[in-house]
């Protein structure tokens, strides 16, 4: 069995449901705080500047968003890493997320 699965089994056996719930809620709160932080605003600004304030895919510059290449939730240590962000317009951003989702489904 893979190391990761063994680790999960160990955790299931050693943690109570209450403890896991409270850890999970704490994590969610952390995510929410990070998303709204000045640090996040600053990160966005830096990525937008680096990408010359336009979508890296189609060069549109009307409504821009910054995408986390490695997932915001799964990689907390890369959350504020400028190299982990790319500037996208709303449409390309939506498309990218859908393509990523579809990729996950097909790889399963």
Q: How far is CA 21 from CA 5, 25, 69, 92, in A?
A: 20, 6, 28, 35
In sequence order, what are the residues at sequence separation of 6 or more whose Cβ sits closer than 8 angstroms to the Cβ of residue 75? 68, 84
Give the C-alpha separation, 103 to 100, whole Å: 5
Position among 31, 57, 78, 82 found at the interface with Zn ion (CB under 5 A): 57
Crossing angle for the helix pair 38-50 and 17-36, nearest 10 degrees?
60
Number of residues that bind Zn ion (CB under 5 A): 7
Q: Is there binding between residue 34 and Zn ion (CB under 5 A)?
A: no
Interaction between residue 58 and Zn ion (CB under 5 A) = yes
- Identify the residue among 47, 64, 86, 89 touching Zn ion (CB under 5 A): 89
| 31 binds Zn ion, rule: CB under 5 A | no
What does the alpha-carbon distance between residue 25 and residue 3 come to, in Å, rounded to a whole number?
Answer: 26
Binding flag, residue 67, Zn ion (CB under 5 A): yes
Stretch that binds Zn ion, among 1-9, 13-21, 65-73, 75-83 (CB under 5 A): 65-73
Residue numbers at the binding site for Zn ion (CB under 5 A): 55, 57-58, 60, 67, 89, 92
């Amino acid at each position: 069995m893979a190391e990761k699965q063994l680790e999960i089994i160990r955790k299931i056996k050693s943690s109570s449901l209450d403890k896991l719930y409270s850890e999970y809620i704490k994590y969610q709160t952390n995510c929410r705080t990070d998303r709204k932080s000045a640090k996040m605003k600053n990160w966005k600004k830096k990525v937008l500047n680096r990408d010359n304030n336009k979508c890296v895919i189609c060069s549109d510059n009307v409504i821009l968003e910054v995408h986390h290449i490695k997932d915001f939730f799964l990689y907390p240590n890369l959350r504020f890493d400028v190299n982990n962000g790319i500037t996208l317009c709303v449409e390309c951003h939506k498309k990218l997320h859908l393509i990523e989702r579809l990729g996950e489904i097909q790889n399963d």
